[in-house]
Amino acid sequence: MKIDNSVVMITGAASGLGRATAERLVALGARVLLVDLDATQGSALAASLGSAAHFVQADVTSDEQLDRAADAGVSQFGKLTGLVTCAGLLYAHKLIGREGRTHDAAAFERVLRVNVTGTFLAMRAASRVILASAARETETSSDGERGVLVLVSSVAATEGQLGQLAYAASKGAVASMVLPAARELASAGVRVVAIAPAAMETPMIAAAPASVQQSLVDQTLFPRRLGKPDEFAQLVEHIFENTLINGCTLRLDGGVRMSAK
Ligand SMILES: NC(=O)c1ccc[n+]([C@@H]2O[C@H](COP(=O)([O-])OP(=O)(O)OC[C@H]3O[C@@H](n4cnc5c(N)ncnc54)[C@H](O)[C@@H]3O)[C@@H](O)[C@H]2O)c1
């Protein structure tokens, strides 16, 4: 998929990995539909990116709001060719925590709702519009490619640490959606790929205690630092451009294998 002239919907675009992705894709000639709950940061990012960006405030747990957002991409830019799902929540609690405090079931369900249902609803909304856009487009790549969906899992999907029950379950579910979606959308020329990052330098990880951040850096083989949001965006760029990558989850991790804590 050529990035130049593509139109990409990015959820969680107001911060961190989504923001870096928007900035890189626009620099490469794409137009981006920025979707986030945070209207202040989302609108500010759209203003800084100019006419190549359009912000829609939406909660990824609302099917109606996501459908409206995807449709806004078409009214604003004429089509949709890609999706990157960066909206997500981090949450940590043990099954039985300090002083016997148990893991709140509502918190567990909230993480699943935002990270999993939110990803599913974004895939559904974007796929509907990508397929409709593709039906109108006369020009496709030599392979007949029409779209790319990039989902965001985590190394916690396979190496969940102490207290990461909800988060690890949610990121495992995201990774598990990749293959069935890629199988389904293959006949329409749409690829589905997930990225599983390790700790990246974003507001999400900045909220974790410094000792937790340092421990994650110490477990990284090389380079011994947090990942940079633009390194995530670089991988999104490569996934868009390399048509052979499909139906898999790619780690972006400096060789880390997270230990129990
Ligand atoms: N930063 C890391 O270390 C790291 C590592 C692995 C995976 N991830 C995943 O990458 C994704 C992006 O993380 P980040 O580090 O950029 O986080 P971030 O907190 O900087 O950004 C997340 C964005 O998602 C938005 N958001 C949250 N809930 C939403 C909802 N219901 N509807 C719409 N928008 C919502 C927030 O407003 C925010 O702008 C997340 O799914 C996260 O789990 C992050």
252 lines ligand 1 (CB under 6 A): no
Pocket lining: 60 vs ligand 1, CB cutoff 6 Å: yes
What residues are paired with 152 via a beta bridge?
A: 195
Q: Which domains does the chain have, with CATH numbers?
A: 7-252 (3.40.50.720)
Catalytic residues: 167
Q: pLDDT at position 135, please?
A: 72
Q: What is the largest CA-CA distance in the chain?
A: 63
* Ligand 1 pocket residue status of 254, Cβ below 6 Å: no
3-state SS, one letter per residue, for the chain: CCCCCCEEEEECCCCHHHHHHHHHHHHCCCEEEEEECCHHHHHHHHHHHHHHEEEEECCCCCHHHHHHHHHHHHHHHCCCCEEEECCCCCCCECCECHHHCECCHHHHHHHHHHHHHHHHHHHHHHHHHHHHHHHHCCCCCCCCCCEEEEEECCCHHHHCCCCEHHHHHHHHHHHHHHHHHHHHHHHHCEEEEEEEECCECCHHHHCCCHHHHHHHHHCCCCCCCCECHHHHHHHHHHHHHCCCCCCCEEEECCCCCCCCC
To test the pocket of ligand 1, the residue of 9, 43, 86 to mutate (highest count of ligand atoms within 8 Å of its CB) is 86
In angstroms, what is the span from residue 88 Cα to ligand 1's centroid? 4
d(CA 147, CA 172): 24
**Whole-number pLDDT of residue 140:** 58
* For ligand 1, atom 34: residue with the closest CA: 36
pLDDT at 134: 73
Quote the ligand 1 centre to 16 CA distance (angstroms): 7
Give the pLDDT score at 46: 98
- Predicted local confidence at residue 3, as pLDDT: 96
Q: What is the mean pLDDT of each run of 10 residues along the chain (261 residues)?
A: 96 98 98 98 98 98 97 95 98 94 97 98 98 71 92 98 97 98 97 98 93 94 98 98 98 97 90
Atom of ligand 1 minimally distant from the CA of 232: 10
